[in-house]
Amino acid sequence: MSRRYAEMAFAQLLLSGTMVHEGRFPELQREYGVFLNPTVIMVVSIDRYPDLAAKERPEWRADVGQKLVSIVSETMQSLHLDYLWLWTEEGVMALLIDAVAKPLTPMVEARPIVEARPIVPLMKIGRTLQRNVSACGVSVSIGIGRTYADPLLLHRSFQEAMHAMTGRFFQGNELIFQYHPDSPEHEHWTDALIDEKTELLALLLMGDEQGTESAIRELFDKMANASGYNEKVFRSEAIDLVMLMSRSVVGKTGTAFESGISAVDVLSENAKAIHELYITIRYDKFVQKACLYGRWLALFVNQSQTPVASPVICQAIQFLKQHHRGRVSLEDVARYCCVSKYHLSHLFKQEVGVGVIDFLNQTRIEKALFYLNSSDLSVQQIAGQVGYPDANYFSRLFRQRTGCSPSEYRIARLC
C-alpha cells in the first residue's frame, strides 16, 4: 500500500468513527505507518463549486483539486503543522490537524480539550488558508469542529465542523464557521405567514407567472426571518410549500388537457424540483429554483385555461393577471401588446370567448372565490386583494356572476 493510500484509509477510519472496531490507535498507527495524532477537523469547501464545475471544462475539477491540495500543503508547512487530508465529497476536503501543543494525555471521557491551547489559533489557520487559496481564482469557506484529545473521538469534530457550516446557506463566500455547542437552534416555527401563502396560491391558480415568482421571493425572505435563519427549519417549510403548490395546481386543473400536460407531468416535475431543492447549498440558488418551478406551474395553469391562444392574446392575458389589482383599461392592454384596441378586442373575444374587461372581472372573481374558500379575511379585505377598492361594487359584481353575495357564498360553503 502506498503512503498516500495508507493515509487516506487511516483518515477515513478516524472521520467515520469506525477505527474503534479495527483495533487500538497506537497499533493502527504502526500498521498504517501514520504516526500523526490529529486533534481537530477543518472542513474546507470550495464556494459555489456546483456552479463552477458546470461552467468549466471537464479537466477543471482535477486542476482545482490539485491546486487546493498544493496550497493546503504549503500553508500547513508555513505554519509548522502536521495534518492529513481527505476528500469527503466533490469540492469538500477534510483536514485532520495536529494543532495542540505536546505532550497530549489521551482522555477517556468524550469531552473536548479545554486545558490545552492550539499551537496556532484555529481561526488564523482558516484565514491563512482562505488568503492563499484566493490566489488560484477560487474561494473557500471553512467549518471548524472542537478539539479532542482522544483521536478515537475525532469523528465528533468532523460532525461539528459540518454542522457549523450549515450557516453558509443564508450567507456568502469566504466564511469561517466555528462550532459552538451552545448556539441557539431556533427550531420553533410559528406559521404567521398564512396570508402571504394564501396570496401566493391565489396568484399561482390564476396563472400569474410574474406574480407567482414575486410572491415566492417575498414569502421565502419572510420564512427565513421567521425561522431565525435556521437552514433545517427553513428548508422543511419551504419544501412543504412547494409541494402544496403542486397539489393545489393538480386539484384545480384535474388530470389532462388539450395542452398535452397532465397531472402526472406536474407530479413528475414536482419530484425533480424537490430533489433539486434538497441538494442546493445556497439560499439564492434555492429561491431561484423554486421560482422557476413556480413559473412552470403557473404556465401549466395558463395552458390548461387557454390552450390554443395566440402569442398576442397570451401576452394580453399575462398583463391582465399581473395588473389585476390595479386600474386596467382596454387601452392599457392594447398599448402593452402593441396593437390597436379594436384589433385586440376582436381577437381576444374570438380566442377566449369573452371581452378583455370581462376576462379581467372573471379573473378577479375566481381569485375572490379562492379567498372565500381558503381564508378568514373579511369581504372588504378580499375586495382589496382582488382589485376592487369599493367592497359594495365588488359584492354586486360577485352576485351577478355567482348568484349570491360573498357572505352568502361563505356561509353556504361552511354548512
Which of 122-126, 247-251, 387-391 comes out lowest in average pLDDT?
247-251
What Cα–Cα distance (Å) separates residue 295 from each residue in 97, 239, 267, 329? 47, 16, 15, 26
Mean pLDDT of 2-19: 94
Q: What is the mean pLDDT of the chain?
A: 87
pLDDT at 101: 60
39 and 154 Cβ atoms separated by less than 8 Å = yes
C-alpha cell of residue 213: 415568482
In the block, cell 421567521 appears at: 226
pLDDT at 121: 86
Mean pLDDT of 192-203: 90
Alpha-carbon distance 43 to 35, whole Å?
A: 21
Q: Which residues pair with 44 in a beta bridge?
A: 93, 142
Most confident segment among 67-71, 98-102, 187-191, 326-330: 67-71
In the structure, what pLDDT confidence band is assigned to residue 113 with cuts at 50, 70 and 90?
Answer: low
Alpha-carbon distance 367 to 205, whole Å?
A: 8
pLDDT at 129: 95
pLDDT at 102: 56
In the block, cell 504549503 appears at: 74
Mean pLDDT of 189-200: 80
pLDDT at 137: 85
Residue ranges and CATH numbers for the domains of the chain are 3-178 (3.30.70.270), 194-356 (no CATH)
Mean pLDDT of 348-375: 92
pLDDT > 70: percent of the chain: 89
pLDDT at 415: 62
Cis peptide before 103 (omega within 30 of 0): yes
Which of 157-171, 190-204, 256-270, 383-397 comes out lowest in average pLDDT?
256-270
